[in-house]
């Protein structure tokens, strides 16, 4: 007789080993894009990352970073490895969860075949999740989702252990895990309703529909209590206590908060004592669980402690209870309506005061302003179409087919919820994981990017058009993963099987599935045009579905038992389950999840920083424009002389204070404003009021007006307050030519290019505190430090200085050079050529694009931007008569940058490359690239031409771009590059032109 317990434990550890090896082999060896750079940097030095923080994750990351033994280049490796181990442990607990549920379907004494069936179900379900697209993505990088999912797995497994062995210490353990998980991510809170259901079914003799509903409601209430009462309002209460102790009693900062915490501790301690003395068992259990939740939540003390230490990364500076409350409440992310709110075309009718905000003063708390809630004339229940950003409004109208002046009604609002938020932003991701994925291109709803597919062409054609002539942007994309829907079918079979055998277990798993998937959709209420795919937010629901996949093995076994012996039916079920889920998922997904050898994010950060002159000031965006740079500086010490200034954070007074301090080799920024002139609640917003200035206003003079405390320099606002305002958009900055030479900003030989004063138009209808800080830096820098702007900022972020920006690598340098009236080039085509040539050839390394096994979409974006910049540099060098330098640039680019085409948009860069090679008489390379480009466009445009006229019209942008590139290739190859190729291009252009003219008019 097989020992089930021993075999079950052993198999769990084996699955841990398998998953760990898989994730280790495909792990990214250094930082990844998005938040990983920030998480690694903040872990390495225990700094304060973005809201709402992840203190426990950072502390664990710090422990793993110590394994680098002082080798800073290995810190990212070890922190990434922590995610590998967390993810492998998740697979182990998932396996034990499936087997714990499966044992309930069999009698107390199990046969060997039944034991092996349970083991097989658990193993196949766990392996399916191992190779699921979304979980695999998070398992190989330093993000919070791997550890967060582990906590979810542990708490769900623990309640099943309690169900099997009703020892309430398991409940206390769950409470502690939930409290700890808050210091990572709030995902595991969503397992609470399922946990409550397990508790209800176990402790109720005859559970009914009404009781089940009450248990679910109570579980949701517990989630709300933890998320709001504990995570936020407990901190707010501590802040209010601190306000009383400091402002009223005159005691020091923190005394009120600590007294409040001590009072909570004493209250819980007395409650536990009272419950023991009077034998109030349920009260005792509740208070002990509460104590352990709070004990786990106490990891947030790390955030407050480190914020008071003022590290280089100290976002929102949560160094007191009030700022910590705002930090936990994610107040910087704005307000999203949930149950009732505006439509996207609503007009504001009023504003209602909702509270008072405080800031930490010198010796007491000071009012920093009021909080308000706007009121609107058009509102809906359960508002889903609420965003009033212009590009979002256009998206809503297009998605719902609304006219220019048409407002969404309730039905259309719910249609957007069902088709976009649920269908596109959840079900599409769910089906990626268990049915198949078209490609990895970030989609905004078009039919050729990022859709789910089955791989069954006739079925996919019903949604996505003709599938017989798929282009390389789909078939050659590593993210093209075809499962034929087999994992989904296996999971559905498992769901039906469990429902037939144990309806309570089905409801528990389904509750976990719903709460970690669709409930998040309802809560997040995502607006359209997200900057990246958001599937990682729903990884918990995919975990729940993997449980059903495991049960699918038992469903197959039961089916075959009707025709075959028990052992044979088990063998067939195991083989079918393995092939239908983990095998096909692993084989299809390996290439687009294999990040071994990839260091493109680190290379990007190094190249970005090396684009800047010594001691530079570099203005950047958030996410991929900043976090890799933070990692490079904070962890590996790369170019710490460059001061990275994130413009999204520059509106925060505490961040400005950071910028006024030395950071490593970077001196304090030249900000002349006093702290009281930009503190929280002061000069947050400057409305533009035209005062009729005919001439440009000197920046220092404008700054004096913007920072003036005189009532004459302010305007009365609604509510009666007086605020500073922007009196003109026409600005100037006088230029001292001698100072430019002294600071090596401009060589003496180039002084004839310099303008006596820089004049520009500010492009927004209001200015922010961030703009004020930029004005201050520019006005007082006096060209002492080079000033750069990132190359991927939004147009309004350049504050109108576009004509004075010159590309020197991945960043634009601010230079007071003249620009001819007939020079209509975009700033991305304007280079400070000799400096950029030196940076490119001596300081920038693009070889990481070739060592990576897989280029993810963000890496490809960087590669495309690099091609744009390198083509611009080579083209300008050619025009300046420096062909030898241009040839070196193009040789390096062709050798080190990716040549594979992923989309029609990529061919635009290729056209510029071929043009430059043609000017340099490198016709062999030009011809080769021209042939590749023609072949790609032939396949892509040919596919579009095979579609219905309606789908062709939906692809009009790609058609126009592709035909433009073909026309450009025709013109280039006609100049003698390759006569035979030219004839092929002409024929293809004529053929496609005829097709599109007939179909599109």
Average pLDDT of the segment spanning 541-550:
97
Q: What are φ and ψ of residue 356, in 5° steps? A: -125, 140
756-772 burial: b if 16+ Cβ within 10 Å, else e: eebebebeeeebbbbbb
Helix (H) or strand (E) run with residue 788 in it: strand 787-790
**Residue 721 — pLDDT band, cuts 50, 70, 90?**
confident
Compute the distance between CA of residue 289 and CA of residue 36 in angstroms, rounded to an integer. 33
Average pLDDT of the segment spanning 611-619:
96
**220 in Cβ contact with 236 (< 8 Å):** no
DSSP reduced 3-state for 125: helix
652, 658, 664, 670: CA torsion to nearest 10: 100
C-alpha closest to that of 794 among 895, 648, 596, 591: 648
Q: What value, to the nearest 5°, has the Cα angle with vertex 345 and ends 344 and 347?
A: 115
Compute the distance between CA of residue 92 and CA of residue 98 in angstroms, rounded to an integer. 10
Compute the distance between CA of residue 254 and CA of residue 304 in angstroms, rounded to an integer. 11
Helix (H) or strand (E) run with residue 813 in it: strand 811-814
Out of 602-616, 706-720, 790-804, 870-884, pick the least confident: 706-720
Compute the distance between CA of residue 841 and CA of residue 835 in angstroms, rounded to an integer. 10
Q: What are φ and ψ of residue 195, in 5° steps? A: -65, -40
Whole-angstrom CA distances from 180 to 175, 231, 349, 397, 986 are: 9, 12, 44, 43, 65
- Scan for tokens 């910087």, then name that residue: 332
DSSP reduced 3-state for 549: helix
**690 in Cβ contact with 728 (< 8 Å):** yes
Top pLDDT among 449 and 819 is at 449
C-alpha closest to that of 430 among 124, 133, 145, 98: 133
pLDDT tens readout for residues 99-134: 999 999 887 788 889 999 999 999 999 999 999 999
Q: What is the DSSP string of 902-968?
A: -STTHHHHHHHHHHHHHHTT-HHHHHHHHHHHHHHHHHHHHHHHTS-HHHHHHTHHHHHHHHHHHHH
**Residue 691 — pLDDT band, cuts 50, 70, 90?**
confident
What is the distance of C-alpha 748 from the center of its chain?
A: 46
**Residue 1 — pLDDT band, cuts 50, 70, 90?**
low
DSSP reduced 3-state for 25: helix
Cβ partners under 8 Å of residue 754, min gap 6: 735, 737, 740, 746, 816, 817, 818
Average pLDDT of the segment spanning 814-825:
82
Of the chain, the percentage scoring pLDDT greater than 90 comes to: 80
- So what's the pLDDT on residue 374? 86
- So what's the pLDDT on residue 37? 95
Average pLDDT of the segment spanning 431-440:
96
Q: Above 70 in pLDDT, residue 720?
A: no
Q: Above 90 in pLDDT, residue 685?
A: no
**135 in Cβ contact with 429 (< 8 Å):** no
- So what's the pLDDT on residue 4? 87
C-alpha closest to that of 767 among 710, 684, 704: 684
Q: What is the DSSP string of 29-65?
A: SS--TTTHHHHHHHHHHT-B-STT--HHHHHHHHHHH
3-state secondary structure 411-471: HHHHHHHHHHHHHHHHHHHHHHHHCEECCCCCCCCCCCCCCECCCCHHHHHHHHCCCCCCC
Whole-angstrom CA distances from 657 to 416, 680, 775, 789 are: 43, 11, 16, 20
DSSP category for residue 165: S
pLDDT tens readout for residues 169-209: 999 999 999 999 999 998 889 999 999 999 999 998 888 89
Rg, Å, the chain Cα set: 31
**31 in Cβ contact with 40 (< 8 Å):** yes
Compute the distance between CA of residue 1 and CA of residue 906 in angstroms, rounded to an integer. 63
**428 in Cβ contact with 464 (< 8 Å):** no
424, 425, 428, 430: CA torsion to nearest 10: -150
276-301 burial: b if 16+ Cβ within 10 Å, else e: eeeeeeeebebbbbbbbbbebbbbbe
Mean pLDDT for the chain? 93
Helix (H) or strand (E) run with residue 812 in it: strand 811-814
pLDDT tens readout for residues 723-751: 889 999 999 999 999 999 999 999 888 89
306, 308, 312, 317: CA torsion to nearest 10: 100
Average pLDDT of the segment spanning 830-856:
93
pLDDT tens readout for residues 406-428: 999 999 999 999 999 999 999 99
How many helices (H) and strands (E) in the chain? 42, 18
Q: State the number of CA atoms in the 13 A half-sphere of 152 facing the CB.
A: 31
Compute the distance between CA of residue 385 and CA of residue 393 in angstroms, rounded to an integer. 9
Copy the structure tokens of residue 198.
């397990």
Q: State the number of CA atoms in the 13 A half-sphere of 65 facing the CB.
A: 23
Residues in the chain: 1001
Strands 697-698 and 730-734 come out as: parallel
Of the chain, the percentage scoring pLDDT greater than 70 comes to: 99
Q: Above 80 in pLDDT, residue 155?
A: yes
**809 in Cβ contact with 839 (< 8 Å):** yes
Average pLDDT of the segment spanning 636-657:
94
Top pLDDT among 177 and 822 is at 177
- So what's the pLDDT on residue 333? 73
**Residue 974 — pLDDT band, cuts 50, 70, 90?**
confident
**Residue 279 — pLDDT band, cuts 50, 70, 90?**
very high
807-825 burial: b if 16+ Cβ within 10 Å, else e: bbbbbbbbbbbeeeeeeee
Compute the distance between CA of residue 683 and CA of residue 691 in angstroms, rounded to an integer. 19
Average pLDDT of the segment spanning 820-846:
88
Predicted TM-score of the model (pTM): 0.94
- So what's the pLDDT on residue 821? 67
C-alpha closest to that of 220 among 183, 181, 191: 191
Any bridge partners for residue 486, and if so which? Answer: none
DSSP reduced 3-state for 355: strand
Compute the distance between CA of residue 778 and CA of residue 617 in angstroms, rounded to an integer. 10
**Residue 977 — pLDDT band, cuts 50, 70, 90?**
confident
Compute the distance between CA of residue 611 and CA of residue 809 in angstroms, rounded to an integer. 5
Alpha-helical segments (H) within 465-565: 472-475, 486-501, 503-515, 518-524, 539-560
Compute the distance between CA of residue 306 and CA of residue 310 in angstroms, rounded to an integer. 7
Compute the distance between CA of residue 354 and CA of residue 373 in angstroms, rounded to an integer. 7
Average pLDDT of the segment spanning 434-448:
93
Whole-angstrom CA distances from 634 to 47, 73, 646, 665, 811 are: 10, 11, 15, 12, 20
Q: Above 90 in pLDDT, residue 976?
A: no
Top pLDDT among 220 and 371 is at 220
C-alpha closest to that of 542 among 126, 193, 180: 126
């Amino acid at each position: 007789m097989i020992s089930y317990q021993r075999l079950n434990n052993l198999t769990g550890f084996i699955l841990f080993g398998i998953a760990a090896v898989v994730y280790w082999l495909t792990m990214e060896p250094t930082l990844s894009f998005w938040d990983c750079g920030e998480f690694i940097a903040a872990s390495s030095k225990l700094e304060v990352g973005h809201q709402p923080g992840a203190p426990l994750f950072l502390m664990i990351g710090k422990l793993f970073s110590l394994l680098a033994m002082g080798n800073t280049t290995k810190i990212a490796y070890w922190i990434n490895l922590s995610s590998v181990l967390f993810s492998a442990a998740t697979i182990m607990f998932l396996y034990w969860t499936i087997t714990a549920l499966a044992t309930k379907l069999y009698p107390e004494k199990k046969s060997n075949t039944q034991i092996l069936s349970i083991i097989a179900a658990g193993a196949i379900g766990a392996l399916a999740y191992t190779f699921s697209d979304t979980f695999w993505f998070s398992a190989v990088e330093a993000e919070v989702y791997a550890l967060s999912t582990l906590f979810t797995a542990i708490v769900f497994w623990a309640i099943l252990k309690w169900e099997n062995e009703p020892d309430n210490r398991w409940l206390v353990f769950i409470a502690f895990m939930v409290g700890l998980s808050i210091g990572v991510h709030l995902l595991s809170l969503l397992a609470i309703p399922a946990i409550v259901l397990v508790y209800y079914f176990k402790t109720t003799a005859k559970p009914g529909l009404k009781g089940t509903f009450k248990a679910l409601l109570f579980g949701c209430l517990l989630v709300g209590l933890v998320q709001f009462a504990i995570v936020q309002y407990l901190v707010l209460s501590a802040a209010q206590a601190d306000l009383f102790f400091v402002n009223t009693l005159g005691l020091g900062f923190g005394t009120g908060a600590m007294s409040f915490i001590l009072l909570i501790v004493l209250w819980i301690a007395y409650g536990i004592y009272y419950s023991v003395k009077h034998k109030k068992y349920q009260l005792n259990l509740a208070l002990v669980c509460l104590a352990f939740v709070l004990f786990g939540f106490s990891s947030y003390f790390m955030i407050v402690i480190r914020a008071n230490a003022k590290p280089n990364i100290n976002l929102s500076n949560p160094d007191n209870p009030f700022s910590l409350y705002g930090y936990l409440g994610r107040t910087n992310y704005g307000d999203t309506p949930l149950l009732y709110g505006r439509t996207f075309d609503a007009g504001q009718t009023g504003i209602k005061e909702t509270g008072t905000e405080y800031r930490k003063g010198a010796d007491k708390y000071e009012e920093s302003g009021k909080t308000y809630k706007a009121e609107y004339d058009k509102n809906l229940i359960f508002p889903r179409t609420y965003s009033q950003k212009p590009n979002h409004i256009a998206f809503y109208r297009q998605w719902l087919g609304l006219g220019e002046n048409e407002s969404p009604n309730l039905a259309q609002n719910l249609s957007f919820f069902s088709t976009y938020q649920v269908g596109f932003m959840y079900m599409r991701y769910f089906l990626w994981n268990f049915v198949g994925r078209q490609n990895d291109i970030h989609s905004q709803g078009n039919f050729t990017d990022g859709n789910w597919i089955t791989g069954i062409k006739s079925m996919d054609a019903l949604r996505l058009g003709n599938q017989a002539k798929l282009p390389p942007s789909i078939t050659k994309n590593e993210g093209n993963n075809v499962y034929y829907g087999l994992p989904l079918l296996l999971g559905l079979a498992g769901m039906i099987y469990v429902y037939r055998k144990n309806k309570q277990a089905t409801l528990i798993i389904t509750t976990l599935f719903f709460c970690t998937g669709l409930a998040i959709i309802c809560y997040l209420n995502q607006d359209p045009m997200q900057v990246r795919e958001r599937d990682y937010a729903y990884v918990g629901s995919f975990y729940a579905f993997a449980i059903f996949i495991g049960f699918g093995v038992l469903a197959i076994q039961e089916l075959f038992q009707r025709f075959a012996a028990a052992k044979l039916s088990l063998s067939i079920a195991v083989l079918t389950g393995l092939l239908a889920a983990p095998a096909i998922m692993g084989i299809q997904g390996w290439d687009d999840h294999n990040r071994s050898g990839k260091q493109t994010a680190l290379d990007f950060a190094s190249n970005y920083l090396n684009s800047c002159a010594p001691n530079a000031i570099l203005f950047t965006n958030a996410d991929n424009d900043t976090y890799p740079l933070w990692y490079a500086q904070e962890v590996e010490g790369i170019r710490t002389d460059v001061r990275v200034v994130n413009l999204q954070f520059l509106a925060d007074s505490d961040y400005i204070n950071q910028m006024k301090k030395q950071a490593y080799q970077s001196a304090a920024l030249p900000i002349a404003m006093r702290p009281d002139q930009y503190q929280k609640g002061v000069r947050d917003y400057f409305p533009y009021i035209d005062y009729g200035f005919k001439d440009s206003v000197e920046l220092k003079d404008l700054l004096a007006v913007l920072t003036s405390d005189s009532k004459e320099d302010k305007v009365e606002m609604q509510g009666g307050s007086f605020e500073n305002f922007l009196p003109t958009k026409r600005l100037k900055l006088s230029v001292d030519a001698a100072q430019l030479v002294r600071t090596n900003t401009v060589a003496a030989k180039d002084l004839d290019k310099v303008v006596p004063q820089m004049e520009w138009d500010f492009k927004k209808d209001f200015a922010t505190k961030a703009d004020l800080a930029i004005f201050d830096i520019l006005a007082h820098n006096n060209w002492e430090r080079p000033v750069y702007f990132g190359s991927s900022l939004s147009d309004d972020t350049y504050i109108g200085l576009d004509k004075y920006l010159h590309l020197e690598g991945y960043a634009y340098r601010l230079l007071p050079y003249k620009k001819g009236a007939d020079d209509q080039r975009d700033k991305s085509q304007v280079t400070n050529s000799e400096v950029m040539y030196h940076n490119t050839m001596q300081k920038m390394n693009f070889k990481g694009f070739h060592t990576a096994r897989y280029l993810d979409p963000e890496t490809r974006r960087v590669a495309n931007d690099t091609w744009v910049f390198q083509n611009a540099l080579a083209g300008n060098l050619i025009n300046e008569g420096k062909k030898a330098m241009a040839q070196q640039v193009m040789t390096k680019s062709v050798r080190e940058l990716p040549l594979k085409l992923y989309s029609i948009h990529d061919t635009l860069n290729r056209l510029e490359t071929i043009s430059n090679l043609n000017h340099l008489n490198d016709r062999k390379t030009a011809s080769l690239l021209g042939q590749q480009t023609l072949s790609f466009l032939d396949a892509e445009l040919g596919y579009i031409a095979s579609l219905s006229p309606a789908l062709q019209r939906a692809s009009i942008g790609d058609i126009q771009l592709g035909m433009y590139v073909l026309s450009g290739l025709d013109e280039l190859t006609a100049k003698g590059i390759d006569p035979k190729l030219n004839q092929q291009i002409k024929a293809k252009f004529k053929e496609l032109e005829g097709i599109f003219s007939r179909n599109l008019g």
